[in-house]
Structure 1
Amino acid sequence: MGANNVFFLELIEWFDDSGQEIARRFPQEGSGEIKYGAQMVVRESQAGIFFYNGKAVHVFGPGRHTLKTANIPILNKIMGIPWGLESPLRAEAYMINTKVFPNLKWGTREPVAFKDSELGLIRLRAYGMFNIQVVQPLLFINSLVGTMASFSVADLSEYLGKVIVSRFNDFLGENMDTILNLPSRYEGWSDGLRQRLQDDFRHFGLSLNQLYINAITPPPEVQKAMDDKTKLGMFEDMNKLMQLKAASAMEKAAANPGAAGDSMGMGVGFMMPALMAQAMQLAGQASQAPQASQAPGLQCPECRQPIRQDDRFCPSCGHQLVVFEQCRGCGKNLAPGTRFCPRCGQQAGSARETVKCPSCGQENLASSTFCNHCGERMA
């Protein structure tokens, strides 16, 4: 090994100013000549690992440690070799950050198809955050860091995010019924997904402390279709929905004249045919209303809709109506049981013959087969 790669280490300590570095090797290039009696300072949020000839010799916890035979038994053999004034040890050390690394992101890159019990096949996106912590420093070094000079959260979060997405897809496919119930299940699903992922993280000496599902959403075009369907359910027909959109466009134009007003004008122009059709329909209904009111006292006995005096069948339900006789004096229709004409005052008894119903005793026309009052057969 060249002289440029030889380092004499007497004090090993590490301050992570960025807060994003998980592991740091000392020295960062090659091996170092760590003197007998060198000091290693490990803080509460750290762990120190000592390597000799490529093998881990000892893992140090928090505190100040002196590298000598009392700490590292392998130094017993090295001390037996005459080194002159110094006894160097060619080795390297790793410092591991064991604090919790929060606010790491995970999320689906592309929508994933799921079967919804209400909406059928639907594509969903999901995203959230998670926290990790190194709980087995030596396993972490051997499985992920290797011989790298440093290892940061950025080197790890993307891979772990993909692992979470993979497990999330399986978990959601097993537990989802419909997206309409999703908001109430985020907390329970987050905990279940975290427990399922623990084994994946333990393989690397990591602990998944918390995992959160922030949102599970369909793509924008699906959201728009759902919103339109919800709006349609709030109105009786499409015309009212068009009126609401027109009113909304007018409010925006009033608040922001100019470009917004131009766009509002175009939008109202597209909606004018539907609005005109609705206005014509309302006008037709209004023109028919006086005709029904020409005979306010006559109603169909079946559906109670207004009828005209000369109607023999109800125009609304088709029910057969009572046949009226006419007054011989003025020609007005007279209902059964009328004794005098309400228009000319002529006695109506001579205008028709009546018989009484054997069941209810009410008068009916002599030609009646069924009673006009109780419906029983006359004879």
Structure 2
Amino acid sequence: MGTDNLILLEVLEWFDETGQELLHRLPERGSGEIKFGAQLTVRESQAAVMYYKGRAADAFGPGLHTLRTGNIPIITKLLATPWGMTSPLRAEVYFVNLKLFPNLKWGTRDPLAFRDSELGFVRLRAHGIFNIRVIQPVLFINTLAGTMGKYSTEQIEEYLGRVIVSRLNDYLGETVDTLFSLPAQFDEMAEEMKKRLAKDFVRLGLALDDLLINSITPPEEVQAAIDDRSRLGAIKDIDKFVRMKAGMAMEKAAQAGGEAGAGLGMAMGMMMPAMFAGTSAGSVSTSSTAVSTAQCSGCSNRIPTEARFCPFCGRQQIILMQCVNCGKNLTPGDRFCSRCGQPADKKPVPVICTACNQENLPGAKFCGGCGLKLL
């Protein structure tokens, strides 16, 4: 007989110092010798169950219990002959914590497979928290704790989390059509999940007090597709949107300086409206979106006349001539401006200030010498 079996217990009580223990057995190892007349103290948030010969013999509620035949009727049977009412009682007492255990976490260890009516087959990850209580101490001991000396929320949290995820998978497949409707349904989903999980918890002697769904998220690429759809829903005119994006690309390229890569990006940005003109709703005719082109001096491909760099080879397109009247870039060999019709070889005429005779650039509105507004 081991030393653990020789412990003579006279006072039986238990304090949960961690706040996470669901169950604690006295003695923690083996069975003990409970002295006839021992004091058993059970707190308001506890229940005690006495086991004798491997079976639950009696349960005790809150209060101070003296283990005598007069106070505990079951003791009469346990201490009957041949022990002559004098032998200590070899038994174990299980203290069960009846308080609420909040903020337990559940989540998907592996992504859930979900068939979305709009996005197709996607994988989801879900996370949340839940709260539990022990409502059937004997059932809880017999189904989960068994003969363990201690049993904590850490030991049961993972298992219960898997149960929740399994039921969630069924619920999504049966009731949810598309991910786009999920964010507004978390509260309703949680309530329905509580109803579905009630039987799973009750058969373990537990109650599921609350369940919260914090997030249900698809992979990053699916999230990007959802974001794109939201943006498209906010865009009323796709043609204007494409032109705006092309203008932004040009602005960024201009800020980057004269690097070939930046110029390439700007040239592509200028070509985007023409590229998307054919896919728009037809509100803009092809004649209004036509882009004037010239031949690249490097690779001979046709590129926009206004492009500073070739989008095919990156070669800088040097501006050889500009119309002195309207400032349009002229294609080499042009004799007249295609925008205003002025001769290509016409020299620019400076603007002379009448107050100080300062010579100013063509098109200037104010004199660079005296600041006077030019006529």
Query: Is the 2:40–2:65 contact (alpha carbons within 8 Å) kept by the matching residues of 1?
Result: yes
CA–CA distance in structure 2, aligned partners of residues 182 and 173 of structure 1: 13
The 8 Å contact of residues 246 and 267 in structure 1, kept in 2 or not, is answered as no
- CA positional deviation for 1:51: 1.0
Once the two structures are superposed, residues 131-175 of structure 1 have per-residue CA deviations (whole angstroms, 9 ceiling, x without a partner) of: 111000000001111110100001101000001101110011111
Displacement of 1:45 after TM fit? 0.9
Give the direction of change, closer, same or farther, for the CA distance of 1:71–1:226 in structure 2 (3 Å limit): same
Structure 2 partner of 1:274: 268
Matches within 5 A, 1:74-153: 74-77=74-77, 78=79, 87-153=87-153
Partner of 1:154: 154
| 2:69 alignment counterpart | 69
Deviation at residue 33 of structure 1 after TM alignment? 0.7
Question: Equivalents in 2 of 1:152, 1:186: separation in Å?
Answer: 29
List aligned pairs for 1:162-241, cutoff 5 A.
162-233=162-233, 234=235, 235-236=238-239, 237-241=241-245
1:173–1:41 distance in 2 versus 1, CA, 3 Å: same
Gaps of 5+ in 1: 254-260, 288-379
Distance 1:277 1:100 in 2: 65
* Residue 112 of structure 1, CA deviation: 2.0
In 2, Cα distance between equivalents of 1:82 and 1:283 = 110
CA contact (8 A) 2:128 2:215 kept: yes
Counterparts of residues 204-353 of structure 1 (less than 5 Å) = 204-233=204-233, 234=235, 235-236=238-239, 237-241=241-245, 243-244=247-248, 271-277=265-271, 284=292
For 2:44 and 2:152, the matched residues in 1 are separated by 19
Q: Using the TM superposition, give the Cα deviation of residue 198 of structure 1 relative to its aligned residue in structure 2, in angstroms.
A: 0.7
Contact 1:133 1:207 in 2 (8 A): yes
Cα displacement (A) at 1:81: 5.2
SS of the residue aligned with 2:133?
A: strand
User: How far apart are 1:54 and its partner, in Å?
Assistant: 1.1
Q: Amino acid of the residue matched to residue 68 of structure 1? A: R
Identity, % of aligned positions:
49
- 1:160 is paired with a residue whose SS is helix
Kindly tell me: are residues 270 and 154 of structure 1, through their superposed partners in 2, closer, same or farther at Cα, counting changes over 3 Å?
Answer: farther
1:183: how far off?
A: 1.6
Tell me if structure 2 keeps the 8 A contact 1:232–1:238.
Answer: no
Q: How many residues align?
A: 274
Deviation for aligned residue 1:220: 1.3
CA contact (8 A) 1:239 1:274 kept: no
What residue identity is the alignment partner of 1:115? R
State the alpha-carbon separation in 1 of the partners of residues 71 and 53 from structure 2: 17
Q: Deviations over 1:213-236 (max 9, x none)?
A: 111111112112222343355353
Amino acid at match of 2:266: M
1:68 aligns to what SS in structure 2?
Answer: coil
1:29 corresponds to: 29
Q: The residue matched to 2:51 in structure 1 has which SS? A: strand
Q: Which moved more, 1:10-19 or 1:122-131?
A: 122-131
For 1:322-369, what per-residue CA distance to the aligned partner results, in whole angstroms no more than 9, with x for missing partners?
Answer: xxxxxxxxxxxxxxxxxxxxxxxxxxxxxxxxxxxxxxxxxxxxxxxx
Q: Distance in 2 between matches of 1:56 and 1:244?
A: 77
CA–CA distance in 2 between the matches of 1:22 and 1:137? Answer: 10
How far apart are the structure 2 equivalents of 1:60 and 1:131? 25
Distance 1:266 1:82 in 2: 102
Flag the 1:89–1:122 CA change in 2: closer, same or farther, 3 A.
same
Mean Cα deviation higher: 13-22 or 70-79: 70-79
AA matched with 1:272 = M
Shift of residue 194, structure 1, vs aligned partner: 0.7
Length-normalised TM-score, structure 1: 0.65
Secondary structure of 1:141's aligned partner:
helix
| C-alpha displacement of 1:201 | 0.8
Distance apart, 1:245 and its partner CA: 7.2
Q: Distance in 2 between matches of 1:162 and 1:114?
A: 17
Paired amino acid for 1:11 = V
Q: Higher Cα Rg: structure 1 or 2?
A: 1
How far apart are residue 207 of structure 1 and its match? 0.5
Q: Could you tell me which runs of 5 or more consecutive residues in structure 2 were left unpaired when the two chains were aligned.
A: 275-288, 294-304, 306-375
Query: Matched residue of 1:70: which SS?
Result: coil
Three-state SS of the structure 1 residue aligned to 2:171 is: helix
Residues 10 and 34 in structure 2, CA contact (< 8 A), matched pair in contact too: yes
